[in-house]
Amino acid sequence: MDTDRARALQGLENDSSSVRLRTALALGTTPDPGFVGKLVERCAVEPEFSVREMLTWALTRYAASVTVPLLVDEVRSERAQARSQALHTLSKIGDRRAWPAITPALLSDPDDEVARSGWRAAVVLVPEGQEGALAVRLAAQLGRGERETQVSLSRALVALGEVMLPALGEATTDLDPRVRAHAIATERLWRDPDAGFGFAIEEAKRAVALGG
């Protein structure tokens, strides 16, 4: 059986991304707990986005009791991609036993992609009653990064619902104009989700420039 597993896993290291994609699909279609460790390891180094997504899908096909402990270990990795992909996969699995891995340090990770994955995972995994505390931690990241990062944070805050409004309101008076603009844009996105972040942030920037 070990030989059969090794043969099945070989495709994950093939030079062809289409072969790696098909291999990940096969490993998720016919789950075998012996594949989990290698799937998690591959997430940390796989260069193709579509293959990483298939690896995540494959891992969601396994019992959380098997995958979550390994993914939580990956969240502590020194490799940014390992942390980011593990967080992304944990958000798809949605098992709240992973919540202790979502530390304040992770939510402020210096790597934007890791932080973004952390924000999304936190919103999914946060235990009932702790949403307000999470909103405060997320609001502390307002003004960070470029547009893609700011959109991710705004969406995470909006996904928390009304509980995030006090933290957001406080940020609208921050001394940093980038923080104020981002907070105002998020507030407008909350009120009118159809407006889109681009429109909301430009309106917010104008408001901040005019002292509004």
Domains of the chain: which residue ranges? 1-125, 131-212
Q: What is the mean pLDDT of residues 166-190?
A: 92
CA-derived radius of gyration, the chain: 19
Residue bearing tokens 């844009």:
185
pTM for this model (two decimals):
0.88
| pLDDT per position as a tens digit, 120-160 | 999 999 999 999 999 999 999 999 999 899 999 999 999 99
- Is the pLDDT confidence value at 193 over 90? no
Fold of 1-125: Leucine-rich Repeat Variant (1.25.10)
Please list, residue by residue across 4-18, b when 16 or more beta carbons sit within 10 angstroms of its beta carbon and e when fewer do: eeeebbebbeeeeee
Tokens of 104: 């304040």
Q: In terms of Cα–Cα distance, which of 40, 18, 16 is closest to 28?
A: 40
pLDDT tier, 209 (very low <50, low <70, confident <90, very high otherwise)? low
Report the mean per-residue pLDDT for the chain.
91
CA 101 – CA 99 distance, rounded (Å)? 5
pLDDT band at 205 (very low <50, low <70, confident <90, very high): low
Torsion, CA 21, CA 23, CA 27, CA 30, rounded to 10: 110
Q: What would the mean pLDDT of 79-102 be, rounded to a whole number?
A: 97
> How many CB atoms are closer than 10 A to CB 49?
9
- Interhelix angle 112-125/131-139, rounded to 10 degrees, is 160
Confidence of residue 1 (pLDDT cuts 50, 70, 90): very low
Query: Which tokens hold the place of 114?
Result: 């890791």
What amino acid is encoded at 56 in this protein? T
> For position 191, what pLDDT does the model report?
85
